[in-house]
Structure formats: structure tokens, C-alpha cells
Amino acid sequence: MALPRTEARTTDETAIDRLDGAAALTRMIDVQIESLATLRAVLPALDAAADLVAETLRGSGRLVYAAAGSSGLMALADASELPGTFGIDPDRIAIRMAGGIPTDARMPGDTEDLVDAGLTLRPGDLLIAISASGSTRWAVDAAARARADGVPVIGIANNPDTPLLQTATVAICLATPPEVLAGSTRMGAGTAQKAALNLISTLAGVRLGHVHDGDMVNLRVDNAKLRNRAARIVAHIARVSDAVATQSLNAARYDTKTACLIAAGASPAAAIELLTRHQGHLRPALAALQDQDAR
């Protein structure tokens, strides 16, 4: 019986456990690179997925991630970064990981065969379901229930024509090669999943106006490193000194977009009004401010 790609053995003549360290590591690196290359074949699906994420966050819905095992860890990594990187309200994100989010190294495998009895989806939500095999019951059941409730689904899997992809609104098949450690999808498959999630959420952040000239202008500023980063961002965008940037951030209560407009000459109230008028997009808000100053 033919095995799915995520369970298949490589056709390399020599297994990694028969190679010396450098050769084994090189083989593993090559598979990681090949796995990442699979993303180019699914650019339209990644683009469509980013649109769904941005649309959800413009509204009142939540991003709900559903996955088990290694795929669950990839989901956790992406979801947990969104508040800090893009200022997304943590209450707008739910992580449904089989067995719960681990607090130590215990991550039981049997939970992926269960269904998520506590999963509740609301109108406006978006489900992001991830499963390397594409047939993990936890993820597939969540996707089926979401579609039955009229909730769109982004499905990410590493095997084609699988139940998860067949159920998804936007299906993303990352056709990664067989793993150098047969079946260990925390490696090549997991690398491709993590990259796909990063690409989707970052492009969604761009479309929400949270990126300006490559800077994260909606970051959550909650430590010394990020206060310094926010000051550099304001100084760069508004073309002001570090001291003026810091003063503007203080006036804006460390809201970076607002601080950029204050540094460019707006009052705090006018900065907020400009951002509200332009749906949180800094570029047209700055243009409108400059147009006002030119009159």
C-alpha cells in the first residue's frame, strides 16, 4: 500500500543514522530548504488566506486555530505572536490544541484522535485548521463543524486530496518531501507549516495597515527593547530626532501610528481622527496631514 508523503521513507541511498554529523545535518538542511520551496506553488492560496484573515480582523470575529501535535505547536507560535507584532487584541484569537496547550514536555498523542467538545464558533469567526497528514480527526472535525456553521476555513496540510483540504474554504497543500526521519513531521512539514502561517498573518497585517515601509507600526510596546524600536520607527517615518520621537510616543501613550502623526505635526486628537478616517492606515493619514499643512 502506498504511504502518504508525510509517512514515506526517503529514497536516499544512505540513511542519516549511517552518515557522519556534517553529512547528516546537510541532508536535513536540504530537506528543510526543499520543504520551504513548496510554498511557491501555493501563492494564490496563501494570498486568499491572508484576505480571509484581514477581513475577519476588520470585523468582529476571531481567528480560531485548530491543530494537534507538531501542527498545534506551529499554530501556537503564529497565534501567540500576533498581539505583540500587530497589536491584535488577544481576545480575538483562540487556540484549540488537542490535549490543551502544553506547559511542559508532556504532549500526549492520543488526543489528536478526539474531537474538540469545547469548540464554539460564532458568526464572523475564521477557523485555521492544520494537519500534516490532512486526516487528523481533531482538525478535520473542527473544519467540518465550522463549514456546517457557515464559518470559513483555511486548511493547511502536507498531503493532497485529504479530508481537511476537501473541507476547507481555502485549501493549502504544502507538498513537502518525505522526511529524513520517516514520519517526523516536526521537521520539513512543520517548517513549511510555520512559514505558511507566518506569510499569511504578515500579509494580513500589511492589508490591515499594520506595516509601513517594512516597519511594524502597530506593535505592542511593553518592554524597553520595544520602546526603543518604536522610537526608531517614529523617527524614521516622521523624519524627526530620537528625542522628538520619544516625546511623541509619550503623547500618544505609545501608540506608534498616532505618535508618527504627532511627530509629523498633528495634535493627539487630530492624529486619532486621521487614523479613524483612514481605517488605521498610516500612509493615507500622513498624506492627508501633509495636504492640510500645504493649504
Q: Give the model confidence (pLDDT) of 237-295 as tens digits.
A: 999 999 999 999 999 999 999 999 999 999 999 999 999 999 999 999 999 998 876 66
Average pLDDT, the chain: 94
Would you place residue 53 in the very low, low, confident or very high pLDDT band (cuts 50, 70, 90)? very high
Q: What single-letter amino acid sits at 290?
A: Q
Give residue 278's domain range. 211-294
* pLDDT value, residue 122: 94
Tell me which of 52-66, 103-117, 258-272 is least confident: 103-117
Cα–Cα distance for residue pair 179/102, rounded to 1 Å? 25
> Quick check: 92 and 73 in contact, CB under 8 A?
no
* pLDDT value, residue 264: 95
Boundary of a domain, candidates 207, 239, 260: 207
Residues 158 and 290 in one domain: no
Mean pLDDT of 63-74: 96
Boundary of a domain, candidates 177, 207, 237: 207
Would you place residue 51 in the very low, low, confident or very high pLDDT band (cuts 50, 70, 90)? very high
Length of the chain: 295
Would you place residue 105 in the very low, low, confident or very high pLDDT band (cuts 50, 70, 90)? confident
* pLDDT value, residue 139: 97
Q: Is 35 helix (H, G, I), strand (E, B) or coil?
A: helix
Cα–Cα distance for residue pair 123/27, rounded to 1 Å? 46
Calculate Rg over the CA atoms of the chain: 22
Residues 115 and 246 in one domain: no
pLDDT(13) > 80: no
* pLDDT value, residue 107: 83
Residues 111 and 242 in one domain: no
Residues 52 and 125 in one domain: yes
Would you place residue 183 in the very low, low, confident or very high pLDDT band (cuts 50, 70, 90)? confident
* pLDDT value, residue 181: 85
Q: How many domains does the chain have?
A: 2
CATH number at residue 234: 1.10.8.1080
Q: Residue 195: what are its φ and ψ, rounded to 5°? A: -65, -40
Residues 154 and 50 in one domain: yes
* pLDDT value, residue 258: 97
The residues with which 128 forms a beta bridge, in sequence order, are: 65, 154
Tell me which of 20-34, 100-114, 228-242 is least confident: 100-114
Q: What is the edge-to-edge ordering of all strands in the sheet holding 126-131?
A: 93-97, 63-67, 126-131, 153-157, 170-173
Residues 169 and 219 in one domain: no
Q: Is 3 part of a structural domain of the chain?
A: no
Residues 77 and 171 in one domain: yes
Q: How confident is the model over 83-93, as pLDDT tens digits?
A: 999 999 999 99
Report the percent of the chain where pLDDT is more than 70: 97
E strands present in the chain: 63-67, 93-97, 126-131, 153-157, 170-173, 211-212, 215-216
| Grid cell at residue 262 | 504627532
Q: Is 226 part of a structural domain of the chain?
A: yes
pLDDT(108) > 90: no
* pLDDT value, residue 295: 65
Q: Beta-carbon neighbour count of residue 182 at 10 Å?
A: 13
Cα–Cα distance for residue pair 152/86, rounded to 1 Å? 22
Question: How far are the Cα atoms of 2, 154, 164, 165, 279 from residue 128, in angstroms, in the given order?
Answer: 29, 5, 11, 11, 25
> Could you tell me how far CA 52 lies from the centroid of its own chain?
12
Predicted TM-score (pTM) of this structure: 0.93
* pLDDT value, residue 2: 63
Report the percent of the chain where pLDDT is more than 90: 83
Mean pLDDT of 89-116: 91
- List, by residue number, the catalytic residues: 81, 112
* pLDDT value, residue 186: 87
* pLDDT value, residue 5: 75
Cα–Cα distance for residue pair 200/214, rounded to 1 Å? 16
> Quick check: 98 and 114 in contact, CB under 8 A?
yes
Q: Is 56 part of a structural domain of the chain?
A: yes
Q: Is 9 part of a structural domain of the chain?
A: no
